[in-house]
């Protein structure tokens, strides 16, 4: 996502920096594809930038902000985090003299108009909207208050990714109890689309579940802050935490391979908890 968003800016003629320190060869290849200039470290990137865009797994959002502490330009946190989390990040950025814009991206990596929107909020949101004019990323200002854009993102993903996790849990239980085929037959008759959607949910969880674990935790926190039960999305977080990450050894030409691998992982006893994505490659900017 970060490379695709950055490419929208480089193709429009903007100079866009990235920090290669601690990143993998794959990250560096994506940066080259996007036309980015290497600033080596986040601190060096901040010194030479007017706007910093943070697009990373949710659990790394605060660390990325701390990496540019003292930045005095516009800092855009475009991560899937709770309003309370983004307000904490805003406090850190503003304490160092920076200006905060809250962002929430809905859709896949932007490639053409009409597929991806970034909602922004904050007093400097208009400056971010202007930078992305005439690009494939549709940036929309929703409020002057930091936290509003993240709240919108949390509510949207609570349904899309939350219900996908629920479908995976249901299929896993049905498989465990020996009624999966009967359930699929009933879905085909009375709930058109659920069979295909559960398969798509498995493919997405197989490829991205390790990133969505933290997002579900942020949604649970958002619900709790609003006085609503957080358990729906705490359970979704565990579903995604158990989903296996793809490896060359797990690849298969069978179209149902991701489904079998995800359901198999869900039905195994959970391993000791380790936050998915930890390590240098879990921290993007």
- CATH code (residue 48): 3.40.50.720
CATH of the domain at 197: 1.10.1040
Residue 38's φ and ψ, nearest 5 degrees, are: -80, 120
Nearest to 149 by CA among 91, 106, 102, 115: 102
Length of the chain: 285
- Do residue 125 and residue 261 come from a single domain? no
- Do residue 192 and residue 269 come from a single domain? yes
- Do residue 177 and residue 46 come from a single domain? no
- Do residue 138 and residue 44 come from a single domain? yes
Instruction: Return per-residue pLDDT of the chain as tens, 285 residues.
Output: 999 999 999 999 999 999 999 889 999 999 999 999 999 999 999 999 999 999 999 999 999 999 999 999 999 999 999 999 999 999 999 999 999 999 999 999 999 999 999 999 999 999 999 999 999 999 999 999 999 999 999 999 999 999 999 999 999 999 999 999 999 999 999 998 999 999 999 999 999 898 899 999 999 999 999 999 999 999 999 999 999 987 654 455 566 788 999 999 999 876 665 555 544 344 443
How many domains is the chain built from? 2
Which of 146, 167, 193 delimits the end of a domain?
A: 146
Tell me which residue range forms the domain holding 218. Answer: 151-282
Q: For position 275, what pLDDT does the model report?
A: 55
- Do residue 115 and residue 156 come from a single domain? no
Reported pTM: 0.89
- Do residue 173 and residue 187 come from a single domain? yes
Residues 213, 206: contact at Cβ < 8 Å?
no
Please name the residues in contact with 33: beta carbons below 8 A apart, sequence gap of 6 or more.
Answer: 3, 7
Per 3-state DSSP, what percentage of the chain is helix, strand, and coil (rounded to 5)? 55, 10, 35
- Do residue 239 and residue 259 come from a single domain? yes
Which of 115, 146, 177 delimits the end of a domain?
A: 146
Which of 146, 163, 193 delimits the end of a domain?
A: 146
- Do residue 142 and residue 155 come from a single domain? no
- Do residue 111 and residue 54 come from a single domain? yes
User: Quick one: CA dihedral 100, 102, 108, 112, positive or negative?
Assistant: negative
- Do residue 62 and residue 166 come from a single domain? no
- Do residue 122 and residue 202 come from a single domain? no
- Do residue 130 and residue 182 come from a single domain? no
Could you count the other beta carbons within 10 Å of the beta carbon of residue 93? 28
């Amino acid at each position: 996502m970060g490379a695709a968003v950055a490419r929208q800016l480089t193709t429009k003629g903007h100079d866009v920096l990235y920090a290669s320190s601690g990143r993998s060869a794959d990250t560096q290849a994506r940066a080259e594809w996007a036309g980015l200039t290497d600033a080596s470290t986040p601190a060096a990137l901040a010194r030479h930038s007017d706007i910093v865009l943070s697009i990373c797994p949710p659990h790394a959002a605060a660390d990325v902000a701390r990496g540019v502490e003292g930045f005095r330009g516009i800092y855009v946190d475009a991560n899937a985090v709770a309003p309370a989390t983004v307000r904490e990040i805003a406090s850190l950025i503003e304490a160092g003299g920076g200006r905060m814009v809250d962002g929430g991206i809905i859709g896949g990596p932007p490639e053409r108009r009409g597929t991806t929107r970034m909602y922004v909020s904050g007093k400097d949101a208009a400056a971010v909207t202007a930078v992305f004019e005439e690009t494939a990323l549709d940036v929309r200002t929703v409020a002057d208050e930091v936290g509003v854009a993240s709240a919108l993102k949390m509510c949207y993903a609570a349904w899309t990714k939350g219900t996908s996790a629920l479908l995976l849990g249901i299929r896993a239980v049905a498989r465990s109890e020996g009624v999966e085929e009967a359930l699929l037959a009933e879905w085909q008759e009375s709930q058109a689309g659920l069979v295909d959607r559960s398969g798509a949910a498995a493919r997405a969880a197989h490829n991205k579940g390790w990133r969505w674990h933290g997002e579900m935790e942020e949604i649970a926190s958002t619900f709790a802050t609003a006085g609503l039960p957080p358990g729906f999305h705490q359970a979704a977080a565990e579903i995604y935490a158990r989903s296996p990450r793809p490896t060359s050894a797990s690849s298969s030409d069978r179209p149902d391979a991701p489904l079998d691998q995800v359901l198999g992982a869900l039905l195994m006893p959970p391993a000791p908890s380790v936050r998915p994505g930890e390590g240098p490659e879990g921290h993007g900017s």
